């Protein structure tokens, strides 16, 4: 048991002793965001992981993010507080099925969302995040045939916005899929002046009502910039913590699920990480991400293309 242990003080002691950097995604619990060395979106966290001179990366996010850190920084020890922190998009795209999909479309390149396994990254040509997808796609000729996986909503959004016809893998994020259009319209009626900011993982019937669509860092920037005092947030509600810190005078309301509140839109995978598990991960340097070198090198190729094309 951890009773009697000052977990925050121990995390501080251990991070110095181990020369560790604590990276956290915006969907982590506020207490984790507040003690992280850096909080960001998937692209920013990848860049931090690639650049850090720490010996240990304690990654407070989901497994594909920690794996990305290990792919880019293989000499570091990368720990994830809870190894069960997966992602429904990753689960929707088993590598053997993805390989078969590629084989059916030999004249297509694979542009792939970072929310996938190392194996799927290794089978892909270029990785994208929600903040870099449009910039990367704009560098690919219109005539190039493309398959896009695993998020059909992000892929569909980019297809519509950029006039493309990428073939889409049918994966979804269970969190963004759970927003209710009916409940969102009720909330909009209650706050007619409040803009809606949505993540492109949302289905089209939610994106249709959005004033702004973008990645978590994009939504956060919009929260600071929009003219008004109240905003509706259609992404995982833990990001509201950063908004309230940045612009405490504004009000942020999480978009509702079918039950009328935003609690059903908490990412169950992200929520597995706790301060206690972070402390244990720094203490034991476990659970640790390990990736076979041959597959790491293949995955790194597609991630390096992302980092080059997104910069
Ligand atoms: P971004 O932070 O890159 O927008 O990704 C959101 C997400 O769902 C990560 O799992
Ligand atoms: Fe995956 Fe959705 Fe959770 Fe992001 S919010 S980690 S896409 S399940």
- Say whether 105 sits in a helix, a strand or coil: coil
DSSP 115-176: SS-HHHHHT-SEEE-TTTHHHHHTTS-TTS-EEEESBHHHHHHHHHHHT---EE--B--HHH
Beta-strand pair 56-60/20-25:
parallel
Q: What is the span of the domain harbouring residue 210?
A: 175-265
The separation between the first and the last C-alpha atoms of the chain, rounded to the nearest angstrom, is 46
ipTM higher than 0.85? Answer: yes
What is the pLDDT averaged over residues 293-311?
Answer: 97
Instruction: Please report which helix (H) or strand (E) contains residue 224, including its range.
Output: helix 216-225
At 40-92, the pLDDT tens digits run: 999 999 999 999 999 999 999 999 999 999 999 999 999 999 999 999 999 99
Which atom, in ligand 1's list, is nearest to the CA of 41? 2
Tell me the pairing of strands 109-113 and 126-128: parallel
Is there a domain that residue 234 lies in? yes
Whether residue 199 is found in the same domain as residue 131: no
The number of domains in the chain is 3
Binding residues for [4Fe-4S] cluster: 87, 173, 267
Query: Given ligand 1 and candidates 23, 42, 63, 197, which is best to mutate, with the most ligand atoms within 8 Å of its CB?
Result: 42
In a domain, 2, yes or no: no
Q: Is the CB of 130 under 6 A from ligand 1?
A: yes
pTM over 0.95, yes/no: yes
Backbone phi and psi for residue 179, each to the nearest 5 degrees, phi listed first: -70, 140
255-264: b or e for each residue (b if 16 or more CB lie within 10 Å)? bbbeeeebeb
Judgement on whether residues 78 and 25 belong to the same structural domain of the protein? yes
Q: Ligand 2 within 6 A of 269 CB?
A: yes
Tell me if 124 CB under 6 Å of ligand 1. Answer: no
Scan for tokens 């929260």, then name that residue.
223
Q: Which ligand is nearest to the CA of 87?
A: 2
1 in a domain, yes or no?
A: no
Which atom of ligand 2 is the closest one to the Cα of 176?
A: 2
Residue 250, domain member (yes or no)? yes
| 134 part of a folded domain | yes
Q: CATH no. for residue 203?
A: 3.40.50.10800
- Res 153 pLDDT > 70: yes
Nearest to 7 by CA among 289, 286, 269, 282: 282
Ligand 1 near 33 CB (within 6 A): no
- Do both 210 and 147 map to the same domain? no
């Amino acid at each position: 048991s951890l009773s009697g242990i000052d977990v925050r003080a121990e995390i501080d002691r251990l991070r110095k002793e181990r020369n560790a950097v604590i990276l956290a995604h915006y969907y982590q619990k506020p207490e984790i965001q507040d003690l992280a060395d850096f909080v960001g979106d998937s692209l920013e966290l990848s860049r931090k992981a690639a650049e850090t001179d720490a010996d240990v990366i304690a990654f407070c996010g989901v497994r594909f993010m920690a794996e990305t850190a290990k792919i880019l920084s293989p000499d570091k020890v990368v720990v994830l507080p809870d190894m069960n922190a997966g992602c429904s998009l990753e689960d929707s795209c088993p590598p053997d099925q993805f390989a078969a999909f590629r084989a059916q479309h030999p004249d297509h390149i694979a542009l792939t969302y970072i929310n996938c396994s190392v194996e799927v990254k290794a089978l892909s040509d270029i990785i994208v995040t929600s903040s870099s997808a449009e910039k990367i796609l704009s560098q690919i000729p219109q005539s190039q045939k493309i398959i896009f996986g695993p998020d059909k909503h992000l892929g569909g959004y980019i297809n519509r916005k950029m006039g493309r016809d990428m073939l889409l893998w049918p994966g979804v994020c269970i969190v963004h899929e759970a927003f209710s259009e009916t409940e969102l319209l009720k909330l909009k009626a209650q706050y007619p002046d409040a803009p809606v900011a949505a993540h492109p993982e949302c289905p089209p019937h939610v994106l249709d009502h959005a004033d702004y669509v973008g990645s978590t860092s994009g939504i956060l920037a919009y929260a600071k910039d929009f003219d008004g005092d109240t905003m509706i947030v259609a992404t995982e509600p833990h990001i509201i913590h950063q908004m309230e810190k940045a612009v405490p005078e504004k009000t942020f309301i999480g978009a509702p699920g079918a039950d009328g509140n935003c609690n059903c839109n908490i990412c169950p995978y992200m929520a597995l990480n706790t301060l206690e598990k972070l402390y244990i991960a720094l203490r034991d340097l476990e659970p640790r991400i390990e990736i076979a070198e041959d597959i790491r090198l293949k995955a790194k190729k597609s991630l390096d293309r992302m980092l080059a094309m997104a910069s």
